[in-house]
Amino acid sequence: MDIHQILKLLPHRYPILLVDRVISIEKGQRIQALKNVTINEPFFTGHFPHRPVMPGVLMLEAMAQTAALLTFDTLGVAPDDKTVYYFAGIDGARFKRPVEPGDQLLMDVTLERAKAGIYKFKGVTRVGNDVACEAELMCTMRTIA
């Protein structure tokens, strides 16, 4: 799935769109996606000026956006302007390695369970062979007025 297909599914836009490409997807099971991290990211200006590091919450957001793409593929739906995909919870978040400009995030997200409109995922983000971030994510889709 290239960036054009991602833009059709996710409402996020620069600077908060954090998925550049989907490498592989197994309907209802797992997804693997990429985020290229560049010095041009707006958060590097203040985080931190002397040593740019990607904020951990943005790695979690990148995994949630990846999870949303898996959910949409699994359900066979494309969200409309009245549908929002929200975080419902984050458990066991661990940050194992700083992510810096020039790194490429490889996000592996697995659907663990879906019940009553709540989706639980296990996400692991790597830079090369090193784990940068891991967490259990819970997300849900809601219709807004």
| 11-54 per-position pLDDT tens digit | 999 999 999 999 999 999 999 999 999 999 999 999 998 999 99
Domains delineated in the chain? 3-143 (3.10.129.10)
> Regarding predicted confidence, which is higher, 49 or 137?
137
What amino acid is encoded at 32 in this protein?
Q
Q: Which is nearest to 34 in space by CA: 8, 9, 71, 59?
A: 59
Q: Which of 4, 12, 47, 50 is catalytic?
A: 47
pTM of the full predicted structure?
0.96
Confirm whether 12 is a catalytic residue. no
Please state whether beta strands 130-143 and 83-95 pair in parallel, antiparallel, or not at all (unpaired).
antiparallel
Chain CA centroid to CA 22, Å = 11
User: What confidence category does residue 121 fall into, taking pLDDT thresholds of 50, 70 and 90?
Assistant: very high
User: For residue 59, how many C-alpha atoms fall within 13 Å in the half-sphere facing its CB?
Assistant: 29
